[in-house]
Structure 1
Amino acid sequence: MQTIRSFISIPITPGITSAATKIIKALKPVDSGIKWVPLDNLHLTLKFLGEVDNVEVFDVCTAIRSVTSHIEPFELHFTGTGGFPNLDKPRVLYAGIEDPSGLLVKMVGELELKLADLGFKPEPRDYRPHLTLGRARSKGGLVSEELSEAMQQYSDTHLGDMVVDEVNLMASFLDKQGPTYQVMDTIDLA
């Protein structure tokens, strides 16, 4: 059997990608301790699955379809920036996402349950919608004071709105230049 490094995501619109790109380009020169997400790879991750046996891909897609088949398209608002666990010692730098309908969080919760039935480990933390912009290179996660201040300049920036009407099952391939992603399946919402 062959395994495929996989995750479930929502593609983001070109407008939101463009706004996120502007923020990344403005912040990149401020601190070299961040591994910024390649601009072609920006997406909204719902669940990282890890190594999936190729024969399990069909079952994963079936589980995703069972969840998305009863969820109508919904709107998300991309706004502001922040860091996990906080902006003083972030491991992840992100653009915030508002989920006014609550359907994104509901969908992720249902995906967690369906995928747990297939043997995928549930996330230990509650899902907090965010668009990852970069990650700290060191485990300590200390960023410069300049970067913290620069991030705060974008804390109220509106990156755009979008309607979510599909979910992708993605394959991730790692090489020296970083990850490249390939869509394995696109699954429409109800």
Structure 2
Amino acid sequence: MTQLKNKNTHSMDKVRSFIAIETNEELESSLNELIEKLERMGFKANWTRTKNIHLTLFFLGDQKMEKIAELAYKIGERVSGFPTFHFNINKIGYFENSSIPKVLWLGIEEEQSLIGLSEEIKKVLSISNLEFKNDIFVPHITVGRVKSNPNHWRELIKTINFDQIRVYVNSIGIYSSELTRKGPIYKKLYTVDFEGGVIING
């Protein structure tokens, strides 16, 4: 049975929130180098801050803290005993619209355990009557939302070599997201550990 390892009192106000997987310091370092390279090529974007980097599983929208606490507990019950696994980040890609790049991202090698984890969480969200985008899960890590781009941008992206990075996963996090003029501020509210247990961070 999932147990709360810490106690805290939360406000009942709604917060913008999402479920995600933490990455690691190796990716943070590589992301900085990648952004510098893209800027030298002429890309301008709202770049992801390295301290904010994560793999989003589900965006929850505005939820009451009471509902988020309940959700953390239910997810903890569902994924208790889920095996530790890893995924590989191995390429850079983009989403485009009318031949204009909109988002640059890092792609993840297909990993069945990652897909399986997202499916387990999706079941909990459905049982909890939470609305979420039920799109096909395409795991990726956002690098930046493009404001302007150089000519021949596709060819430039193809020249970028991204060394594979392995990320190990033994827990997930539920985060709040506060939008500010300087970009979003993320705060981990709960850590749900595969070994059983929900840690209150916020």
TM-score (norm 1): 0.86
Q: Of 147, 151, 172, which residue of structure 2 is paired with 1:145?
A: 151
Find out whether 1:166 has 2:171 as its counterpart: yes
The answer to whether the Cα contact below 8 Å between 2:58 and 2:132 also exists between their aligned partners in 1 is no
Q: Which amino acid aligns with 1:93?
A: L
Structure 2: gaps of 5 or more residues: 1-11, 196-202
Q: State the superposition RMSD in angstroms.
A: 2.1
Structure 1: gaps of 5 or more residues: none
Deviations 1:66-112 (A, max 9, x none): 33213111011111100125894443211111144x01111112212
Cα distance change, pair 65–87 in 1 and its aligned pair in 2 (3 A): farther
Deviation at 1:148, TM superposition (A): 2.6
Deviation at 1:59, TM superposition (A): 1.2
Deviation at 1:40, TM superposition (A): 1.8
Correspondence for 2:122: 112
Within 5 Å, which residues of 2 pair with 1:14-25?
Answer: 14-25=25-36
Query: How far apart, CA to CA, are the structure 1 residues paired with 2:78 and 2:103?
Result: 28
- Secondary structure class of the residue paired with 1:119: coil
Aligned length in residues = 183
Find out whether 1:135 has 2:140 as its counterpart: no
Cα distance change, pair 173–166 in 1 and its aligned pair in 2 (3 A): same
Query: How far apart, CA to CA, are the structure 2 residues paired with 1:124 and 1:3?
Result: 22
The answer to whether the Cα contact below 8 Å between 1:112 and 1:123 also exists between their aligned partners in 2 is no
TM-score (norm 2): 0.81
Deviation at 1:122, TM superposition (A): 3.2
Cα distance change, pair 86–52 in 1 and its aligned pair in 2 (3 A): same
Larger Rg: 2
Deviations 1:128-155 (A, max 9, x none): 1111101234xxxx8443433332222x
